[in-house]
Amino acid sequence: MYGWNGRFLRVNLSNSNAQAEQYDLTMAKRFLGGRGFAVKILWDELDPRTDPLSPDNKLVFAAGPLTGWSLPSSGKLVVAAKSPLTGGYGDGNVGTHVAVQMRKAGYDAIIVEGKAEKPVIVLVQDKLVDFVDAGNLWGLDSFTAEKRLRELYGRASGILLIGPAGENMVSYATIVCQEGRSGGRPGMGAVMGSKNLKAIVVVGTRELPAAYPKEMQELGQDAYREVLMKPSYAFWKQQGTMMTVEWSQENSVLPTLNYSEGVFDKADAIGGFAMEKLKVGNRGCPMCNMTCGNIVKDSDRKQSELDYENVVMLGSNIGLGDLKQVAALNRIADELGMDTISLGNVLGFAMEASEKGLIDQHVPWGSFKNTKALVKDIAYRRGLLGNMLADGVKSASEKIGKGSEAWAMHVKGLEVSGYDCHTTPGMALAYGTSSIGAHHKDAWVISWEVKTGREHYNAEKVDKVLELQRIRAGVFESLTVCRFPWVEVGFELEWYPKFLRAATGIEVNWDMLNVVGDRIFNLTRAFWVRHYNKDWTSQMDVPPARWFDEPTKKGTLKGSRLDREQYSEMLQMYYRKRGWDDRGIPTKTTLRKLGLEDAEKQLGKRIKLAE
């Protein structure tokens, strides 16, 4: 087998055992790597009754067949488990040296199961696996702990770890690396904490097995050059995703005051050009020549890495218009190891609840001091409010009640990312049907939608969401490569089959890859349905009521809202095109067509599947 190592490493923390396992080429071709491997492993190995924070849950770190070579933006790793936030399939990708080192150590994925008796570090050095006492690191913030690990294991080692939020099992704790890059929004850090696993350190020294090594090397050089020559490259390096703040404001989709509006009075103060004035450097993932992390000095005089999502969620969505203070909140969240999208969302929810007199604690919009204290309370689960918000916005609204469910901004329990959808039904559909809950990564359709007619609820829009989900959610997440070269600088899709051929020796084209993307997407949906403890209905794919029922009051599009009936029709159209029934469950025919007979069998035991 070329391209893939053909081996997983299975680590059991309960008995400190580690074993390499082989998998075959059929698995590789059918699921590629990354998300594909993760969902297949979790589907095969998790009982539907598994408590996400129990030793029975499994945490998968999976790379893809393009990881480890010099190819643009290919230093990504998928971290996946059953989510403590949603109860469904959860994952995230993170740019990390672990991706590269793990592949060079001879593994395509590491599966962590069980629970260590005491805090531990798993240390992988090629074939050797050690379980190192982490008692002296437990309780440390992610920056300090990472620095200590780097001193011990060297600059080249790959390190993934959790901060106090992961240790305290905050439902949206992330897994962190490289001083503030993090991934695994749906609580992958909490799963790591539940297993007493503070860090995983990987060092690999082997050559990767490419089918055509010379071609691989030349392709890589050409591809990096191609990225550099793209016209939008220079501005991307200047601002990265921060350029989207101004775009969102202009187009009335900037999340503002808990998604009640799409424009923010102080948007300019937190935008890309404001960021440029504070910028002191760039940081990014391994293997990337379009690094997009903007390093600024925050109001606490610490370095903070800014991008669009963390700025709007900790800025406009909570009414905070001072970028240095936004950066300080972001730095604290990174130190504690919490997802900034979900965090900004629960903070906005708390502020609205406070304004409406539904909670005792006073949390005014835009107050830096109160917010800073509350962020720490959440990470340490301190106080009634901190502890309640640590379980996410869905859980908080269920506890508070009194109609707050209507403005608890989530889908399937995962908080909505940084785009207001009062005026964008296509993006609402993308949130509604994403693989992990309301996340933008699977189908960022909003920019195309704004250009082509945001008012439509039509087949063309559904097709676009499907197309993006195949490419981004299925193929990119499984190869495992970053979407930004394609999305942001126009690096052509045709490169990827060439990379795959050089790595694996297998000829593929995008039609074939799209089938793999569909297989992975359908198995992910099957996982959700199988692990959901109630009857699955199309209501699971409907975005929050606020966007349907409360028109915006500001901006050029004031008075806008989503139309419930048209959204439902568009959702049913999406199901038909996917080969799902009117509940949003894959039919027998669809599962068989994709070779997912086991999903048909297992789902069939729980529910009646449509033909």
Which residues contribute to the site for ligand SF4 (CB under 6 A)? 73, 95, 284-285, 288, 290-292, 482, 484
In SS3 terms, 321-354 reads as CCHHHHHHHHHHHHHHCECHHHHHHHHHHHHHHH
Q: Minimal distance in Å, beta carbon 307 to ligand SF4?
A: 8
Give the residue with the Cβ less far from ligand SF4, 89 or 484: 484
Give the residue with the Cβ less far from ligand SF4, 291 or 387: 291
Give the residue with the Cβ less far from ligand SF4, 430 or 482: 482
- Ranges of beta strands (E only) in 384-457 are 410-411, 414-415
Give the residue with the Cβ less far from ligand SF4, 176 or 292: 292
Provide the residue type at 262 as one letter. G
Peptide bond into 480 cis (omega under 30): yes
Q: Minimal distance in Å, beta carbon 130 to ligand SF4?
A: 29
Give the residue with the Cβ less far from ligand SF4, 488 or 518: 488
Give the residue with the Cβ less far from ligand SF4, 291 or 361: 291
Q: Minimal distance in Å, beta carbon 230 to ligand SF4?
A: 12
Q: 418 and 255 in contact (C-beta within 8 Å)?
A: yes
396-435-440 Cα angle (round to 5): 75
Q: 97 and 288 in contact (C-beta within 8 Å)?
A: no
Give the residue with the Cβ less far from ligand SF4, 484 or 574: 484
C-alpha to C-alpha distance for 461 and 440, rounded to whole angstroms: 16
C-alpha to C-alpha distance for 195 and 503, rounded to whole angstroms: 35
Give the residue with the Cβ less far from ligand SF4, 292 or 562: 292
C-alpha to C-alpha distance for 584 and 536, rounded to whole angstroms: 8
**Beta-bridge partners for 89:** 82
CA torsion 339-344-350-355 (nearest 10°) is 180
Q: Minimal distance in Å, beta carbon 277 to ligand SF4?
A: 21
Distances (CA, A) of 227 to 236, 402, 500: 11, 52, 18
Give the residue with the Cβ less far from ligand SF4, 447 or 572: 447
Q: Minimal distance in Å, beta carbon 180 to ligand SF4?
A: 12
**Beta-bridge partners for 305:** 295
Distances (CA, A) of 274 to 20, 69, 241, 270, 548: 50, 36, 13, 6, 33
C-alpha to C-alpha distance for 301 and 243, rounded to whole angstroms: 24
Q: Minimal distance in Å, beta carbon 484 to ligand SF4?
A: 4
Helix 340-355 vs helix 393-400: crossing angle, to nearest 10: 20
C-alpha to C-alpha distance for 191 and 197, rounded to whole angstroms: 9
Give the residue with the Cβ less far from ligand SF4, 290 or 585: 290
Distances (CA, A) of 181 to 110, 125, 441: 20, 23, 16
Phi, psi at 22, each rounded to 5°: -95, 150
Q: Minimal distance in Å, beta carbon 481 to ligand SF4?
A: 8
Q: How far is CA 366 from the centre of its chain?
A: 26
Q: What does the DSSP 8-state code read for residue 176? A: E
Give the residue with the Cβ less far from ligand SF4, 166 or 284: 284
Give the residue with the Cβ less far from ligand SF4, 42 or 333: 333
Q: Minimal distance in Å, beta carbon 299 to ligand SF4?
A: 25
C-alpha to C-alpha distance for 190 and 66, rounded to whole angstroms: 28
Q: Minimal distance in Å, beta carbon 219 to ligand SF4?
A: 18
Q: 284 and 294 in contact (C-beta within 8 Å)?
A: no
Q: Minimal distance in Å, beta carbon 171 to ligand SF4?
A: 24
Q: Minimal distance in Å, beta carbon 525 to ligand SF4?
A: 26
Q: Minimal distance in Å, beta carbon 283 to ligand SF4?
A: 8
